[in-house]
Amino acid sequence: MGVGAAVRGFLGILWRLLDGVRKTLHLILLLTIAGFLVAAFHTSIPSVPKSAALVIAPEGELVEQLATDPLRRAFGQASGGPAPETLLKDVTDAIDAAKNDSRIKLIVLDLAQMDKSGLSKLQEIAAVLRDFRLSGKRVVVAADFLDQDQYYLAAQAGEVYLDPLGSIEITGFSYYRMFLKEAIDKLGVDVNIYRAGTYKSYTDQYSRSEMSAAERQESTVWLDALWNSYQQDVTRARSLPSKALSEYIGDEPAALAAVNGDAAKLALQKGLVTALKSRRQVADELKGLVGEDEDTHSFNAVGLNQYLVSVRSKLVLKSKSTAHVGIVVASGEILDGRQPPGTIGGDSTVDVLRQARYDNSVKAVVLRVDSPGGSMFASEQILREVQNLRKAGKPVVVSMSTYAASGGYYIATAANQIFASPTTLTGSIGVFSVVPTFARTLAKLGVAVDGLGTTPLAGAMRLDRNISPEMSKLLQNSVEHAYAVFMQRVADGRKKSVEDVDKIAQGRVWAGVDAQRIGLVDHLGGLKDATEAAAKLADLGSDYETQYIESDLSLREQLLMQLHSHVARAGYALGLFPGPSSIAEILDPVIRQAKDIARLNDPRGLYAYCWCQEPRDLRQALKGSTSLK
């Protein structure tokens, strides 16, 4: 046998071996997929007891859209702690369905694992809870401790029971930022800032050591709007005097001393709770209303996820309408390109809107916005697709959640109508660009940069050189042009003159109640109100259904999620992954700001972004670190 024949024989054997491995792996993959399909089709619809309480226990932050970052969600599940997020629509859908469900006798709110969430989202839940109670059914809360957001929802219940050793923490709203100018100066970094708008304060953290008078003025207005709305909603729900909460906070030190530090007793005296009872006492009493679960020896109950699977499965089977109001969620920062859910991508969000445009069953669209803004270029792409929807004869109504500011407002301007919550933070119509340079930093280390270019602008954007006067002028002109474009978009959409828009723009943040007064939004209301308005604009009457339009996770993303989850669980079991530290929590604002800047990716470096959110205070950052469990 010649050498050539031997080589061909060897290669033939190798090919057959590799082909066999390929076929085996292919078979395993097909069997895995088949297993998923069989499991999916043979999973029975969860049963709901004939008499039960619906237990709603939100975990983590309430969000408009779940983020799909595999590590974030996998670690949240693997650590044994609460999931990092709960979908707002899951909570509202469950409450709405339970209202007319004869099997559900009452709702029990378990708020212990709910993290800080936007007030507008809490108001959405409060609205459906009020509607549920109007049906004659009870809403009960049994808690050990309640923070400010948790108590807002608890107050909407007819019965609020607090453990005799528990407490309620209400402090009001605050807005504090870290200013980095002195630290930046010590490091020798030059942060070159270009902005348009008197109130556009996002970049002040790099150029100032304290809050500007303009930012203090505007922040006072929207903070007061949030606090007034919170007080009004809680005191009305609990039938308390209008100033009850302010007086409770103002008198708390002396009042607490008068009851020997008994916070639960003070909460009862002030009417914040119905009675002092442990969760076990409340559970035992509920057995008489809905019966006892023989396995848990507690009251008959059905959880949120189990209940949703049951009711949504039946809704799918009963669905007959061919007319839909499509709901597109735009949640998170606005970035260019394709981005995962939980972030607004210029290309990916446009794809979803195009899907709604070419779907003949979708007659109108509600764009649900929960965003502080971001890339102006991506915002413009999304705005153009909203315009295309309207040109196609499909009305678009924007529903604003917690934030719809800067770029979040930009993408709303082309809608037929805009709805906002009274506490939505919106407006912030302004533009900025930030370019850090490190020539002075390098000079401290003895590093110098020298060279030449063929034009004054050649090499002008190197981060190791100071920005030239020519480039500075170019950047400022670009920002001012972008601001003019932003104002024109608002003027066109709001049917105002550019001059009138400029008076209420300048980067100023407005609460929804004030934004409606000055014409930035049309109506105050929630997602349900916006959906009904969209259906009315499309002349659908009452014969329509809502349809969330979104990009599904690919098989690869689902498999990655599973893989990360298994790795994370193993890591926590072996002690390889430490839990969150208090120091990390305290530094969270700095870390988040650094991440925000690093993520922004507008091709021209122009951003419509608002740092208008209430950071967690130290007590919330450390919550649980010294608790008795």
Residue 498 lies in a domain: no
Q: How far apart are CA 627 and CA 624, in angstroms?
A: 5
197 and 429 in contact (C-beta within 8 Å)?
Answer: yes
Q: How far apart are CA 205 and CA 481, in angstroms?
A: 24
Q: Determine whether 406 is an active site residue.
A: yes
Cβ burial 442-466 (10 Å sphere, 16+ → b, else e): beeeeeeeeeeeeeeeebbeeeebb
Which structural domain range is residue 91 located in? 52-172+220-311
Q: In 10 A of CB 8, how many CB atoms?
A: 12
Give residues with Cβ within 8 angstroms of 624, minimum separation 6.
none
Model confidence at 32: pLDDT above 70 = no
Residue 428 lies in a domain: no
Residue 476 lies in a domain: no
Model confidence at 577: pLDDT above 50 = no
Cα separations in angstroms, 601 against 287, 337, 543: 56, 9, 43
What is the pTM assigned to this prediction? 0.81
Residue 274 lies in a domain: yes
343-358 pLDDT, tens digit per residue, is: 999 999 999 999 999 9
149-198 pLDDT, tens digit per residue, is: 999 999 999 999 999 999 999 999 999 888 888 888 888 888 888 888 77
The most confident of the ranges 190-194, 291-295, 349-353, 566-570 is 349-353
470-519 pLDDT, tens digit per residue, is: 889 988 999 899 999 999 999 999 999 999 999 999 889 999 999 999 99
Residue 517 lies in a domain: no
Q: How far apart are CA 166 and CA 422, in angstroms?
A: 31
Q: How far apart are CA 226 and CA 222, in angstroms?
A: 6
Count the domains in the chain. 1
pLDDT of residue 202: 72
CATH of the domain at 131: 3.90.226.10
Residue 164 lies in a domain: yes
pLDDT band at 87 (very low <50, low <70, confident <90, very high): very high
> Which residue is catalytic, options 219, 371, 406, 421?
406
> Which residue is catalytic, options 105, 137, 200, 363?
200
Cβ burial 60-72 (10 Å sphere, 16+ → b, else e): bbbbbbbbbbbee
Q: 59 vs 620, which has greater pLDDT?
A: 59
Model confidence at 143: pLDDT above 50 = yes
pLDDT band at 415 (very low <50, low <70, confident <90, very high): very high
Residue 96 lies in a domain: yes
Q: 610 vs 511, which has greater pLDDT?
A: 511
At how many degrees (to 10) do helices 70-78 and 555-573 cross? Answer: 40
Residue 587 lies in a domain: no
